[in-house]
Structure 1
C-alpha cells in the first residue's frame, strides 16, 4: 500500500530530528577533549564543503540577491554564530535532554517575536499558550534551587539567537535561494570560529575524535537534507508536531551514552512546553495561516 504524503513527511521530520540529535551527541562526546572553537571550525569545514556542493548542484551559487536582503543575511549569520556558541557551551555542561527540552520553546518565541516585529496577529489563546510554555521552561531551569545550572541561561541565549536567525530568514525575499543563504551562513561560521580557534591551543585529533567530528558534520548535512525534503511533502499542520520527537531521541541517547536521566520536574516542564507548542501549531492551522517550518529549530 502506498504511503501518503503526510506519513512520508512525518518520517522525514523524525529522521531530521534524529540526525540533529545524533550530531549533538557526537559533539557532546568530545567535550573536554577538543576545544570548542577548534571543533566548530573543523566541523564547519566539512559542512561548508557539503553545503557548497549541494548549492552548486541546485544552481544556487550564482544567485542574484537583492541589496536589501544582505542586511537580513548578516543578521542571520549573527544569529547562527551566537546560537552555535551558546548552545554547544550549554550542551557540554548540561544533560542533553534538558538542553533539548528548553529548545522546544523556540516555536513559541518565534510566534511572539513575529507578533512584535512583523505585527502578526496574536490572539489571547496563543498568548496564553506562550506564557504557559515559558512557565514550563522555568520548571526545567529552576532558578534559585540547588538543582539550578547556570548554563541554562546559555540555552536561553541560544533560543534568542535562533529566534533572530529565523526572523531574519523570514525577512528575505522569495527570490533569494535558501541554499545560497545556508552556504553563506556556513562559511561565516567556519571563518568566525576558525579565527576564534587561534585564541586556544589546538589539540591533535585521534581516530575517535576525528570520527566523531566527521560524523557530526555528516549528521548535520543529513538533518538539513531531510528537513528540505519535509518542506516538499505533506501538510504542515500534520508534519510539524513530529519535530518534538527530537526530545525522545535526546532522552534515549542521553541515557544510553551519558547515563543522564532528567529530574521529574524536567519532564513536567518539557510536557508543558511541547503541549503549548502543539496548541500553537493547532491554532495556526485552525486560523488558516501558513505556518513556516523552521528547518531544524536548533543551531548548527
Structure 2
C-alpha cells in the first residue's frame, strides 16, 4: 500500500480504535479491582515508560513553547477524559458506555468546522447523523432494561462528561499532529497524566495484585499504540473523514464486553451497530471526479 494512499489513514485509525477498545476492557477489569484513579495513574506511568524511550531514540528534543502549550492543553483534557471514562465503565456495561460516548464524534465534527475551518462535506453530515441515530437505538434499548439507581446515574453523568472532553480532544489532536510526531505526542499524553493524577495518589492509591498488573501493562501498551496511530492518521487526513470511524469502536466493545465480562448483545444493539457501520461507509465515500 502506497504511503500516499488515501485509505491508509483510515486503516490506521481503525487500528487505533480497535487498540483503544481492547485497552478499555483491560482498564475496566483493573478499575474494578483498584479503583479508577489508581488504574488510570498506573496506566499512564507504564505508558510513559514505553513512549519516552521511543521518543528519545528518535532524537527527541524539548518542544518549542507553542508546541508545549498544545501538548499540555490536550494532555490535561485527555487526563480527565480518561478518568471520567474509566469511572463510568465501572458503573455501566462496556458496550453501553462506548455507545453513549459516540456523541463525541458528532460534536467533534462541528468543532472541526468552528476551530479548524474544515468544510464539512454533505456525506460527513449524513454519516454523523446516521451514527448518532444508531447510538440512540442502542441506548433506547438499554434504557428500557436498566435499573436507574444512584450508581447508574453517576456512571451516565461521568460518561457524558468524558464524551464532551473527547470531542474537544479530537480537535486538539488534529492541531497537535501537525507540529509533533507520534512518539512525542504519546510521551506528553501519558507523562502529563502521571503528574496530574499523581496529586491524588497519596490519598486514593490501592496496590494491584498480579492479575491486575497484567491488565495494566496490556492497557499501557495498547494506549501507546493507539495514541501513536491516531497521531499518525490525523496528520494525514481531515478530522471529518476519520471521526466517523470511531463508531467502529462499538463493534469491538461488544466483542470485548462479551469475552471479558459476559455482557450480552440485544436486538437494539445489533440494529444500532448496523446503522453505525452504514454511517462509516457513507463518511468514507469520496465523490467521483467529474468527467472531463
Specify the SS of the correspondent of 1:31: helix
Q: Contact 2:21/2:249 (CA < 8 Å) preserved in 1?
A: yes
Residue in 2 that maps onto 1:56: 56
Identify which of 194, 218, 228 aligns with 1:190: 194
8 Å contact 2:84–2:159 — kept in the other structure? yes
CA contact (8 A) 2:87 2:158 kept: yes
Match of 1:43 in 2: 43
Distance 1:12 1:130 in 2: 20
- Partners of 1:193 and 1:172 lie apart in 2 by 22
After superposition, the Cα gap between the structure-2 partners of 1:178 and 1:161, relative to the gap in structure 1 and judged at 3 Å, is same
Q: Which residue of 2 aligns with 1:122?
A: 120
Map 1:98-113 onto structure 2 (within 5 A): 98-113=96-111
Contact kept, 8 Å, 1:43 with 1:217, in 2: the verdict is: yes
| Mapped partners of 1:9, 1:114: distance in 2 | 18
Structure 1: which 5+ residue stretches go unaligned? Answer: 289-300
Relative to 1, partners in 2 of residues 1:173 and 1:270: Cα closer, same or farther, differing over 3 Å?
closer
The residue number in structure 2 matching 1:251 is 254
Residue 260 to residue 175, structure 1, CA distance change in 2 (3 Å): closer
Q: Which residue of 2 aligns with 1:214?
A: 217
User: Which residue of the other structure, out of 71, 91, 94, is the alignment partner of 1:93?
Assistant: 91
Count of residue correspondences: 281
Using the alignment, how far apart are the partners of 2:254 and 2:177 within structure 1? 38
Determine which structure has the larger helix proportion and give its number. 2
Equivalent residues of 2:55, 2:184 under 8 A apart: yes
Query: What corresponds to 2:287 in structure 1?
Result: 286
**Distance change (3 Å), C-alpha of 1:116 and 1:12:** closer
- Indicate the larger mover: 7-16 or 256-265: 7-16
Q: How much does 1:26 deviate?
A: 1.3
Matched, 1:165 2:169: yes
Structure 2: how far apart are the matches of 1:100 and 1:126?
A: 21
Change (3 A) 1:274 1:79: farther
Matched with 2:77 is 79
Q: Deviations over 1:207-252 (max 9, x none)?
A: 1122222222122233345556767999x99999876554333222
Question: Does structure 2 conserve the Cα–Cα contact (< 8 Å) formed by 1:73 and 1:169?
Answer: no
CA distance in 2: counterparts of 1:230 and 1:123, whole angstroms:
19
Q: Match of 1:267?
A: 270
Question: Which among 203, 207, 218 is matched to residue 206 of structure 2?
Answer: 203
Quote how far apart the aligned CAs of 1:47 are.
0.6
What is the CA–CA distance in structure 2 between the aligned matches of 1:255 and 1:80, rounded to whole Å?
A: 27
Maintained 8 Å contact 1:129/1:280: yes
Quote the Cα distance in structure 1 between the aligned partners of 2:55 and 2:65: 18
Q: Deviations over 1:128-167 (max 9, x none)?
A: 4433433333333339745365323432322221221121
**Residue 76 of structure 1, CA deviation:** 0.9
